[in-house]
Structure 1
Amino acid sequence: MTSPPDLPTADKDALIAALMARNEALMAEVTRLSALAAEVTRLAARVAELEAKLGLPPKTPGNSSAPPSKGQKPSGSSKPKAKSKPHDGAHWPLHPNPTTKRDVLATACSCCGTDVCGVAQVVCEAYDRVEIPKVEPDVTRVSLFGGVCPCCAKRFKATPPAGLEPGSPFGPNLRAFVIYLRSVQGIPLARLRDVMRDLFGLDISEGALVNILAASATPFKSAVAAIKARLLAGTTIASDETGLRVGKAN
């Protein structure tokens, strides 16, 4: 190793100053490279994390703690969509057995107004108009005739026809409909009275509705007993824990 040259004091001071400046520059470069190495390490970890998430489903309010607002669909483009190719629209299918049919023949040409009543015509368009008929009570007035027997001089009266015996004026179909609306659809009595008046034009009191429901208790009990007997006669019984409100008991 050679010894450093003997320099004047002024030159030595300049050389020391230059070396110190060079040292500070090198230290700054080392600091910068250390920061870059740390950033590279952080980015590598982030890349590994993102690659691990590539196979996972996106986070939504349904599968994560993301707020509901994150699940809203982004607004679409305000530009109008291009018109698609026109296609036949959906039509009400024609009923296979219509109640009535109405054939309408043209009487005049829609272009020139010529009378076409005598011209052979074919069906150009067919469609159905569905409507419910007017519903009103079907009231049957039963008059039982009678008189005085010429033989025994006693009074006689005709026998009521089957199904039209005296008593309640309400027939079995009306009774069944009331029971269905009250028991299955759960319509209260006051509203059920309004339903019968508004839909059928039948003014019936809540008391009459109560009597109809009460009169059905005995036949239903017989049906329930028969069903219960058939269930108990089986080898297995399926049970359900779902409760049902009957009267005032669960």
Structure 2
Amino acid sequence: MPVPEEMTRDELIELVGEQGARITALSEQIAVRDRQITVMATQMAELAEVNETLGERLAKLEHVLSRNSKNSSSAPSKDDGPGRTPPPAKAKRGGASKRKGKQPGTPGANLAWTDSPGDHKDRFPRGVCECGTDLAGARDLGVVDRYQQHEIPPVSVKITQYDQHAVRCGCGRVHTAARPEGARPGPVGYGPNLQAFAVYLMVVHFIPVHRCVELLASLTGAAPSVGFAHGMLTRAAGVLTEVDTRIRTLITLAYAVCCDETPLRVGPRTPKPGKKKAEKYLLVACTELFTHYLLGDRDLATFKAFVIQDLAGSVIVHDRYQNYDSAELGELTHQLCCAHLGRDLDGAGEVYPDAHWPTQIAGALRGLIHEANLARATGRDAIEQTIKDELIKRFRDGVRVGLSDTTGHGNRPGERKARLLLEVLRDREPDVLRFAHDLKIPPTSNQAERDLRPAKVQQNISGRLTSEKRTKDRYRIRGYLSTASKHGRNMIEALREAIRGHPWMPPDPTPT
């Protein structure tokens, strides 16, 4: 191409036109690129926002999956759920691994020899000697070996006919013999032993009613119907109304009462309007001697119908569920369960792995519990004051440090729960440490959790219970048997007494 100085005017005009067209084309390309860059920037911003949202959801999911029975209120039965992080193995005491079986120093158990056997049998050799002589005529040389065998007789249903006679007194009055205790209306029925066995299998060992009938048929030869076995729940519960009322009353007189609640799958599978799940809640109020259940909902109306409203003179030990603090239940004295607090502190330690305060607070609580147990075991009525003051100081210092460490954090999963926990430990210190000042108060609601555990076992074995009314019957019987067992009574015998019409009654509390 010639230089501009050598080009004619027309050639210059043509060149300027071509360059203008090129500039216009390049400008359009730049504008397209700018639009593409803008779109890409918008897409990148949207992707960054989505990525942030997904990151938050992933963090929440990981936090939920990391919850187990050691760092939250999750049930131990859920620890092995898909994707869940199991709790860490317990540290070995002294660093040594524990061998299987009985541990050194623990009490043993054996089938002991008795000097008063129920039967005695002599055994002699039978047959023929090598010489051909019958051993029946051999000379007795005395006992050279002894063996005692503990055995039960074969169980078989025995049919007894009772003929109730009428007699006429000399005065003219007629008297008719009563039927045997536990007899039902009609010409034929099962006796109190078999009735008690059926209720015992269903209520204590959670055997489903069809399997209960099969088991009775296999062991006794009796063939009760499913309807009979299921109906025994109502019959047994019916004779326990007065006992249940007495147990409830005795619980209201207790110095400290442990309470807890758990969901229970009962009734239709379709949730009621306004409910997310088709389930009820089983509440328990208990002491070392008494157990009382109520089937209802996890709402304030159920709590008001339960024994809690009558515990104004007791200390109520619970897991911080909000209904326990409702003003509608009256002025209650609380002891917050330190086992739940300890699990929440373990969870806070996972949220703040570099912080020392979760370990310090939990250690102080465990130390106070240990000292309270030690004081009770040695007959003292209080923890040694200097030790108690030191542990309480460690507790308070840990709470203060935790509160200062959690004022400016973001919204990571678990941070808000840890902050609320610290505020509870600060604002409700008397309710947290009440057990340390009064040894008659248990530091945990473990007794209530133990009394609720059978409900979880039953759900794992039988699944959903179809009848809400039969379930209420089950837990009236269960409360009676649990209370009887806590008083050293045999459960089967307590059931027999109830079915015969003479249920065992818990005694009056011993004055303190």
Q: TM-score, with normalisation over the residues of structure 2?
A: 0.26
Structure of higher CA gyration radius: 1
Q: Which has the higher helix share?
A: 2
- Greater RCO (Cα-Cα under 8 Å, separation 6 or more): 2
Give the TM-score of the pair, scaled to structure 1.
0.50
